[in-house]
A = this chain, B = another copy of it.
Amino acid sequence: MHRVPSEPETRFALGELAAQLGAELIGDPAQTVSRIASLDTADASAISFLSNPRYLPALANSKAGCVIVSPTHRDTAALRGAALIAADPYLCFARLTQLWVARGRAAIAPQVHPSAVVHAGAHLAPGAAVGALSVIEDGAVIGEGTVIGAQCFIGAGASVGAHTRLSAQVVFGARCHIGARGIVHSGVVIGADGFGFAPHEGRWEKIEQLGGVRIGDDVEIGANTCIDRGALEDTVIEDGVKLDNLVQIAHNVHIGAHSALAGTAAVSGSTRIGAHCTMAGGAGVVGHVTLADHVHLGARSVATHSIHKPGLYTGLFPIDDNASWEKNAATLRQLHRLRERIRALEKNNETKSS
């Protein structure tokens, strides 16, 4: 079998990392690391981090060449070798991964692949890159430093902002817009028709979807996620929103800035989600309701009405061994009658007492 070329090695001196990350270095600035790893899998070539105090026992035993810790764990870290001291080690780790990629990732040449089908009426910034076999239609606008991956489709009149990156096989529909520095993963479909029909004599009459999708800056959208175009106005995703894979955003939805929705979450039509909200995996919101800012929904929990107070909300049937579940689920169907029986018992008691 042929040799698979590995990524070119990424190597940093600790002194350089301290400078770039704004962290204090304990140790030799010339020492290098070439890998990021968790505390227990790290070796001398790796840099690791401690963000969750429950992994503290792993810190002392870690073979990592360097560890990122908070000032609190400075001494423990220093006892075992080099350390970077940062106020927020997890944030420092996040930025470390960004440095890693910035160095390791090959720069993408600002060129349009000759196999791409680009309409003469499309507007590409000089620094935009378009991958092989992509299609860009009339009037689409591709920004400076923007990367359209291979086999993407950009519809007529759509715009993709500066430095936004689309992975392979993204569908970005006509007259939809995304701002700067976005990341859109493969299989995403932006701007399919919202699900709108008027019932008529047992059939469904299509309501054509005349709105678009408007996405802000710094938005990331996970693989195979769908954001439908609005019926009359636009579906809106504000700045800094993060959507995971296989998420469903129906027409006319509005998602406030910096909210994050985990995998398979779903938001029904015309619902408004505030800023800084989170939805855990598979959480949902029904249509035509409003969630305030800072509302958090637990895994698979469905908001069936508006929620005006910030906080964590949950609605999930607790898992159990199947035999126990069967008994409890069967009883659940009689729960209302059980309450009546309790009430009857209470009345009976009162009568006897009086």
User: Using a CB–CB distance below 8 Å, which chain A residues touch chain B?
Assistant: 1-2, 4-7, 36-38, 41, 88, 90-91, 93-95, 97-98, 100-101, 113, 115, 117, 121, 123, 131-133, 135, 138-139, 141, 143, 149-151, 153, 155, 157, 159, 167-169, 171, 173, 175, 183, 185-187, 189, 192-193, 195-198, 200, 202-210, 218, 220, 222-224, 226, 228, 231-233, 240, 242, 244-246, 248, 250, 258, 260, 262-264, 266, 268, 276, 280-282, 284, 286-287, 297-304, 311-322, 324-336, 338-339, 341-342, 345-346, 348-349
Copies assembled: 3
Given contacts A2-B141, A210-B36, whether A328 and B333 have CB atoms under 8 Å apart is yes
B220 near A226 with CB under 8 A, answer no
Contact for A186 among B189, B263, B338, CB less than 8 A: B189
Can you report 13 A-B residue pairs in the complex whose CB atoms are below 8 A from each other?
A: A2-B141, A4-B159, A93-B207, A97-B206, A98-B206, A100-B210, A189-B245, A204-B240, A302-B316, A314-B320, A315-B320, A328-B336, A331-B336
B299 near A326 with CB under 8 A, answer no
A53 to chain B, nearest CB (A): 15
Dominant secondary structure at the A interface = loop
CA A198 to CA B245, docked complex, whole Å: 18
A198 near B91 with CB under 8 A, answer yes
Report B-chain residues with C-beta under 8 Å of the C-beta of A141: 1-2, 4
Report B-chain residues with C-beta under 8 Å of the C-beta of A192: 167, 185-187, 222-223, 245
A322 near B314 with CB under 8 A, answer yes
Contact for A168 among B101, B171, B338, CB less than 8 A: B171
A318 near B330 with CB under 8 A, answer yes
With both beta carbons as reference points, the residue of chain B lying nearest to A105 in the complex is identified as: B208
A98 to chain B, nearest CB (A): 6
Of A133, A319, A349, most B-chain CB atoms within 10 Å = A319
A299 to chain B, nearest CB (A): 6
A286 to chain B, nearest CB (A): 6
Contact for A117 among B115, B226, B260, B320, CB less than 8 A: B115
B157 near A5 with CB under 8 A, answer yes
Report B-chain residues with C-beta under 8 Å of the C-beta of A330: 318, 336
Known pairs A187-B189, A193-B220, A284-B299 / 7 extra A-B pairs, C-beta < 8 Å: A101-B210, A204-B258, A204-B260, A250-B263, A266-B281, A299-B304, A304-B319
